[in-house]
Amino acid sequence: MTEMVFGTVPVRAGEPILPRWWRTIDKWALSAILMLFGVGMLLGLAASVPLAEKNGLEPFYYVKRQAFFGLVALGVAGGVSMMSPLQVRRLGVIGFAFAFVSILLLPIFGTDFGKGAVRWFSFGFASVQPSEFLKPAFVITAAWFMAAAHEVGGPSGRLYSFILTLIIVLALALQPDFGQASLVLFSWMVMYFIGGAPITLLTAIGGLTAAGGVFAYNTSEHFARRINGFLSTEIDPRTQIGYATNAIQEGGFFGVGVGEGTVKWSLPDAHTDFIIAVAAEEYGLILVMIIIALYATVVVRSLLRLMRERDPFTRLAGAGLACAFGVQALINMGVAVRLLPAKGMTLPFVSYGGSSVIASGIAVGALLALTRSRPQGEISDILARRH
């Protein structure tokens, strides 16, 4: 009935799934994601070789692993992007259930790998960080709750999503993983705002978040140490931030040259959390700006396409996934240039890491699925007909 009233975009009867997928996918966003993977491989050739030598492995051991995880992630992204919004919702809810249970089991079976935060399950041959998979699944689940509130006689979806958010944030903070907790809270606030929440309520939640930060500072040595390091007027050149800052300054506009960088030999997390420092040192500001432009392309293109959607779940889930993807990249790069305190967050599709890359593949796959062109009248057409 809705299509009869508002009109539809013609559907080609009997069209195979791959041609239909290619015709409806956002090719700009897809191209940007593929280019980010390519940049990650390029930087991995430089950043991961010192780590391999340190661990007594062949020089390109981690590069091969990154290529494997990346190809798996792209395959997962492609498969998820072919789903309908209903299938994306089901996948997200089921994935959230598994990821949430995994988070609760971390204090019992998890490990910190000597980093002071219990975030991983170690299986000997590989490790899994469940919070990476929790983020996209949470966004989809929370969007489902919020969208249900728009239905006549629907449940109090906004309240349920808020309670769920508090539980997730508390579970992540106990690891402690304040970076992921902040990202989850931010994603929920974006969706809540888009769903019609008043600014005063969001301001109050922001105030509560700040109060929670003060509490964490006074009770968590791990959190306080990072905040103190961020607020310090002097940078210890022997710390991660010190190495990264020096590398960025040395790189300048054009970089010191391919393979000529030195930060990868001294920075422990050069291949993961501080991969942007390697890019800035060897390739300069030019590559950094290209990376920023690629992330901006994915986010802006997705939001523009979502503005035409009239399905509440699709708008909310898509906006939450797009903003979480972009903000995670901003946080990672902000830490490297000392605009934000250290949070241990990877750069999506660029940093090394199995859990991070595959989870990013799921997230962007869902985002591409939600932003595909579908047989529906655009929201602008509906509004025009009402005047």
CA distance 26 to 244: 35
CA–CA gap between residue 159 and residue 354 (Å, rounded): 34
Is 131:119 a contact under the CB 8 Å cutoff? yes
- Dist. CA 184–CA 347, nearest whole Å: 16
For position 373, what pLDDT does the model report? 87
Please determine, for residue 362, whether its predicted confidence score (pLDDT) is greater than 80. Answer: yes
Closest-CA residue to 371 (of 70, 3, 15, 27)? 27
Cis? peptide before 19, omega within 30° of 0: no
Give the count of domains, the chain: 1
Residue of 27 and 4 predicted with greater confidence: 27
Cβ–Cβ under 8 Å, residues 102 and 132: no
List beta partners, residue 121: 128
Q: What is the separation, in whole angstroms, between the first and last Cα of the chain?
A: 21
In a domain, 49, yes or no: yes
User: Percentage of residues in the chain with pLDDT exceeding 90?
Assistant: 42
Is the residue at 187 inside a domain? yes
| Length of the chain as a residue count | 387
Q: Which amino acid is at 40?
A: G
- Which residue range forms the structural domain that includes residue 114? 15-385
Report the pLDDT averaged over residues 260-275: 80
SS3 of residue 60 by DSSP: coil
Weakest mean pLDDT among 59-68, 146-155, 358-367: 146-155
What pLDDT shows up at residue 376?
A: 59
- pLDDT, position 206: 79
Confidence of residue 37 (pLDDT cuts 50, 70, 90): very high
Q: What is the mean pLDDT of residues 12-28?
A: 83
Asked if the model's pLDDT at residue 89 lies above 90, the reply is yes
Note whether residue 46 is domain-resident: yes
pLDDT-derived band at 234, boundaries 50, 70, 90: low
Predicted confidence at residue 72, as pLDDT, reads 95
Mean pLDDT of 146-154: 81
User: Which two three-digit tokens encode residue 253?
Assistant: 């506009």
Residue 368 has pLDDT above 90, yes or no: yes
Residue 238 vs residue 136, higher pLDDT:
136
Any domain includes 7: no
pLDDT of residue 3: 40
Q: Kindly state the average pLDDT of the residues 14-35.
A: 90
- According to the model, what pLDDT value does residue 257 have? 83
Arithmetic mean of pLDDT over the chain? 84
**Which one is predicted more confidently, 137 or 216?**
137
Q: Higher pLDDT residue, 80 or 386? A: 80
Give the integer Cα–Cα distance in Å for 348 and 359: 9
Q: What is the pLDDT of residue 385?
A: 53
Burial of 229 (0-12, 13-18, 19+ CB in 10 A): middle
Residue 375 inside a domain? The answer is yes
What pTM did the predictor assign?
0.87
> Residue 1 domain-assigned?
no
- What are the backbone dihedrals phi and psi of residue 295, each rounded to the nearest 5 degrees, phi first? -65, -40
Token readout for 298 is: 């994915």
Tell whether 29 is covered by a domain.
yes
- The per-residue pLDDT for 12 is 59
> What is the pLDDT at residue 1?
35
**pLDDT tens digits for range 336-360:** 888 887 777 889 999 988 889 999 9
Residue position matching structure tokens 């989870």: 359
Q: Name the band, by pLDDT with cuts 50, 70 and 90, for residue 118.
A: confident
pLDDT at position 98: 95
Amino acid at residue number 165: T
**Res 231: pLDDT:** 66
More confident residue, 10 or 265: 265
Instruction: Dump pLDDT digits (tens) for 288-329.
Output: 999 999 999 999 999 999 998 889 999 999 999 999 999 999
pLDDT over 50 (residue 29):
yes
The pLDDT-based confidence of 165 (bands split at 50, 70, 90) is very high
In a domain, 89, yes or no: yes
